[in-house]
Structure 1
Amino acid sequence: MPTSPSDRPPAPATVWQTRGRHAGTSAEDVLRRSLRRLKADQDIDDFLELPQAEGDAPDLVFEARTRVAGQVTVRARLSLAPAADDGQEWTLVAEAERPWDQAWPSPAAMFWPTEPGAEWNRDAVTGLCLGEVNPLPRDDKAARRLLRDCARSGWNVHVVVHEAMTTDERGQVPLAHWLPPGLRHRVVEHRAAPQQLRVLNWALRDFGVEVPRGGAVVLPGAPAPEGYDAGDFAVRAVFLDGSEPADLVGAVTRFAALPRALPDGAREALTALREDWHLLTPEEELARERRLVAMYAEALEAMTRSRDLYREAAERAHEALAAYRESAEAVVPHAQRPADRPASALQQLTRTLERLKPAPRPRRAHAPESPDAAAPTAPVEDAAPVAPEEAAEPRTVASER
């Protein structure tokens, strides 16, 4: 048996939710007739059917609003799935302006007719009637399968009652007759015949739950709420004689008050109720328009501030660029030609080195390749003047030879 809730968020104390199935046909027509009658009788303040999108075959959505305990507003949203072979599944989520009181009327009565023989009050998991007595199947396998499905259900409260002996008409009074109005459409009551006790406990042993002989137990659901202990929600004796089963009523009421995690699909339904609500009063419509105007004004102010900051930054950038250009023109006049520009330090150094470079020496006469070959000697008067150093050089060469 699961003993701790999963990581799903807990259900808010202001929320009431259930899921069921309409076993007949044309559930939407039943809802429309019921809502018109409830509004005419002033049982609800108003209702609204949301337009259905074309092509996607989505759920049909109805909204209703009422007041309980004087001035506590309750908003409820019912989504109706497309028709299937076993009927149409519906999901109902309601939220009040303060923590929910089980003494308030059931939100299911804000949409569905409450006359006997209604076809809407079926549990979505088991198909059994809500708020009525449901005998366990006689087949052992079917009974075990049903009980295991009920133990895993998180939308409604499942109660198993064992009949110690065959009851008469007085013993067939459903438990919902004694429950607070807010629980009557959330409780599924299972009745086990006297000979089904062993099968019953065999099916529930995996969940750590046991039904006393002639008693009853509230199944934990999945996930089990915090603080759930099978012994605290088991009743040892239930007298099915038409009198109020006070102990069992107290166990069911205490179980419903425990903090429980939202069942599968409830978080999406609650989000749609809070964020996609359309049935507004004139005061609520005016308040919403004022919030929109304030939001748009804030957005416009933020855009204006951003525009001013951008303009100021652009002006500063232009000023900086103009100052840079002025300083550049002061250092190097714009009209100065490249030839008139002062030479750089590298160019000046290159020119200085070129001036200091020594003049090239004149080419020397080559000695004859053979001793027998004598070089012709130019007349003295035709020879060019020779420096003393250059005149001494041939003698040096001749002496070396």
Structure 2
Amino acid sequence: MPTSTTVSPMTPATVWLARGRHAGGAAEDVLRRSLEQRKRSRAIDDFLELPEAGTEAGTEAGTEAGTEAGPEAGTEDGTEAGTGAGIEAAPAERVFEARWRVEEKTVTVRARIVVTPGPDGGQEWILVAEAERPWNDDWPSPAALFWPEEPDVAWDRDGAVELSLGKINPLPEDDKDTRRLFRNAVPGGWHIHVVVHEAMTTDERGRVPVARWLPAGLRHRVVEHRAAPQQLRGVNWALRDAGVQVPRGGAVVLPGTPAPDGYDAEDFSVRAVFLDGSKPAGLVDAVTRYAALPRPLPDGAEDALTALREDWHLLTLQEELERQRGLVAMYAEALEAMTKSRDLYREAAERAHEALAAYHESAEAVPVRQQPSDAPAASPLQQLTRTFERLKSRSQRPVAPSRDEP
């Protein structure tokens, strides 16, 4: 099988990435209310909801279609045609931008979330945040600043499969379903997948997810799979493709697809995890070390990061002033280049006119030579010979009789 030689760009150290699925409808309303609340509480400095892209194009298309159909089909048909075309042309993508400061208000973070409709009525979202310094997982989670912390708002779902972020996800009873789950959920590189095996059936104290003990910046990036005591053998069979095994009563951090540089199964395997409500220090350390490994950008993250950097709209007054100064400098450079080009063209035209005038003057100064005739001039001897021939021919002509002669 041919292998691709394309190398994915690496995730910058200043960037925080997350992806998920909002199960309910109208995610933009939920985000708008949450961001307004965060702004009132000063958790964020400001936010901006970008106008829906393509709305004007959809309205124009609908109006044009309605105008064309209206005069012939009547007002009712024209209105229906125009409205329908406008609704179909308008995309459903929604974009929100927000900014806040961390490290005692000394480091600025810019974040951008894009919400698109999902295949089953839900909405997929991609969140990209970038700080002025390398990201610190102890900083607040950008997902928790965009989305509300309400249990009845189901926004923390894995977009690929029906899994919860930062919560416990029991593995299926069937081993084949477990294998299929890992194949579908692990690729992509968006989340950190952890498999924990229960050595014995746990009580309420053991039902605490590992995300509770993680730094705030990792809680919405971890997917925890929990295997029951009798599922150890089936889970390890399902993990053969990943090349890792989960110890009995322990845990393992899956390598992901592709695996980050520096990953070793032994380094990210925890022999024992005590599910008694205490902090699983070994597992927390393994997840934290895994998150610090350099890794390629997940699928679809490159475009989202480019949009954050190049299509940013939420500017401060100082940033807007610097932007306008940059535009003025750019226009000045363009004007200077055009002026230089105009001067060069003018100089070249003047030289061309001078050369043409010099050519005309030199052409008038040279005398015109008489062009020789194509027919050669006759010599004197030839002219004399031709005269004698004409006289001879005349003397040989018969003389016409006179009228007086009989």
**TM-score, normalised by the number of residues in structure 1:** 0.82
Structure 2 residue identity aligned to 1:190: H
Deviations, residues 171-195 of structure 1 (Å, cap 9, x unaligned): 1111011111110110011100011
Distance 1:166 1:219 in 2: 23
Match of 2:208 in 1: 173
Structure 2 residue identity aligned to 1:133: I
Distance 1:150 1:219 in 2: 11
Distance 2:101 2:299 in 1: 28
Distance 2:374 2:187 in 1: 98
Structure 1 residue identity aligned to 2:35: L
Matched, 1:45 2:72: no
Match of 1:130 in 2: 165
Distance 2:181 2:374 in 1: 106
Structure with bigger gyration radius: 1
Comparing 78-87 with 319-328, greater Cα deviation is found at: 78-87
Match of 1:77 in 2: 112
**Cα distance change of structure 1 residues 205 and 330 upon mapping to structure 2, 3 Å threshold:** same
Match of 2:283 in 1: 248
Match of 2:189 in 1: 154
Shift of 1:359: 8.1
Match of 1:28 in 2: 28
Structure 2 residue identity aligned to 1:285: E
**Cα distance change of structure 1 residues 115 and 356 upon mapping to structure 2, 3 Å threshold:** farther
- The answer as to whether partners of 1:150 and 1:221 remain within 8 angstroms in 2 is no
Shift of 1:6: 6.0
Distance 1:356 1:212 in 2: 131
SS of 2:128's equivalent in the other structure is strand
- The answer as to whether partners of 1:162 and 1:216 remain within 8 angstroms in 2 is yes
**TM-score, normalised by the number of residues in structure 2:** 0.81
SS of 2:34's equivalent in the other structure is helix
Match of 1:189 among 192, 206, 224: 224
Shift of 1:242: 1.2
Shift of 1:13: 0.9
Match of 1:229 in 2: 264
Q: Which runs of 5+ in 1 are unaligned?
A: 333-340, 363-401
Shift of 1:58: 3.8
Distance 2:382 2:216 in 1: 122
Distance 1:261 1:357 in 2: 107
* Structure 1 runs, 4 residues or longer, greater than 4 Å off: 346-351, 354-362
**Cα distance change of structure 1 residues 10 and 100 upon mapping to structure 2, 3 Å threshold:** same
Q: How large is the RMSD of aligned CA atoms in angstroms? A: 2.2
The residue correspondences of 1:2-401 to structure 2 (distance < 5 A) are 7-52=7-52, 53-54=54-55, 55-70=89-104, 71-82=106-117, 84-332=119-367, 341-343=368-370, 355=379
- The answer as to whether partners of 1:5 and 1:226 remain within 8 angstroms in 2 is no
SS of 1:158's equivalent in the other structure is strand
- The answer as to whether partners of 2:34 and 2:147 remain within 8 angstroms in 1 is yes
Structure 2 residue identity aligned to 1:73: T
**Cα distance change of structure 1 residues 360 and 196 upon mapping to structure 2, 3 Å threshold:** farther
Shift of 1:350: 5.5
Shift of 1:151: 2.7
Which structure dedicates a bigger proportion of its chain to helix? 2
Shift of 1:127: 2.1
SS of 1:80's equivalent in the other structure is strand
Distance 2:146 2:5 in 1: 31
- The answer as to whether partners of 1:31 and 1:111 remain within 8 angstroms in 2 is yes
- The answer as to whether partners of 2:247 and 2:270 remain within 8 angstroms in 1 is yes
Distance 1:233 1:356 in 2: 123
Structure 2 residue identity aligned to 1:63: E
Match of 1:391 in 2: none
SS of 1:94's equivalent in the other structure is strand
**Cα distance change of structure 1 residues 202 and 357 upon mapping to structure 2, 3 Å threshold:** farther
Distance 1:96 1:61 in 2: 19
SS of 1:81's equivalent in the other structure is strand
SS of 1:13's equivalent in the other structure is coil
**Cα distance change of structure 1 residues 40 and 347 upon mapping to structure 2, 3 Å threshold:** same
- The answer as to whether partners of 2:128 and 2:308 remain within 8 angstroms in 1 is yes
